[in-house]
Structure 1
Amino acid sequence: ILADAVKITLGPKGRNAVIEKKFGAPVITKDGVTVAKEIELQDPLENLGAQMVREVASKTSDVAGDGTTTATVLAQAIFREGVRTVAAGASPMALKRGIDKAVEVAVGEIKRLSREVKGDMIA
């Protein structure tokens, strides 16, 4: 539910989200982490899952300053596919090890393809 609310803000053509406040005017934002922080679910287990996704968005914001919506959408996809895979009989721990290995490979490839930015190359 949280990721579905956040993903409308994704990318340059993402839409604004209007957040109702108990006091004062509503907030209009295109920032995924701002939307994520405002969502509270009534079901305790669903809210626990939403809290985990909020943490993903918040950490992404702290480390990178951007990309919170992308991180939220990726977290949703990993969760959905993980649940489907475990329901089909896969070991949850084997799945976690696979995700960890995939992250290691992806980060390594990104580092390999990256190049240092200096001086007038910035901005």
Structure 2
Amino acid sequence: MSKILKFDEDARRKLEAGVNHLADAVKVTLGPKGRNVVLDKKFGAPTITNDGVSIAREVELEDPFENMGAQLVKEVATKLMMLLVMERPQQLFSLKPW
């Protein structure tokens, strides 16, 4: 199978659409009036959750370019969380009075 290439505005629109699909799935769970989302698994019973991380993990889009956008957001969020977790002990240590 040959590679499908997209450039410029068309590529950006597809990636942005994937980001927006992921954001739309997660944003309904945010805030004091956050709602639940039903996740349909390939095996087992459906899961009802309002956990944004669980929802984001389950998002797989049919369009490969939109899926790339969603996967990029998940990757950035994961790396940012790891960076914050790794930085926190150093900050606590440096703020400790001696």
TM-score (normalizing by structure 1): 0.46
Q: Which has the higher contact order (CA 8 A, sep 6+)?
A: 2
Amino acid at match of 1:10: L
**Residue 53 (structure 2) pairs with residue 24 (structure 1):** no
1:1-123 map, 5 Å: 1-62=21-82
Structure 2: runs of 5+ lacking an equivalent: 1-20, 86-94
Q: Pairwise CA RMSD of aligned residues?
A: 2.3
Q: Which has the higher helix share?
A: 1
Cα deviation for residue 60 of structure 1 reads 4.8
Query: Percent identity among equivalent residues?
Result: 64
Where does structure 1 differ by over 6 angstroms across 4 or more consecutive aligned residues?
none
Q: Match for 2:59: what amino acid?
A: I
Q: How many residues align?
A: 67
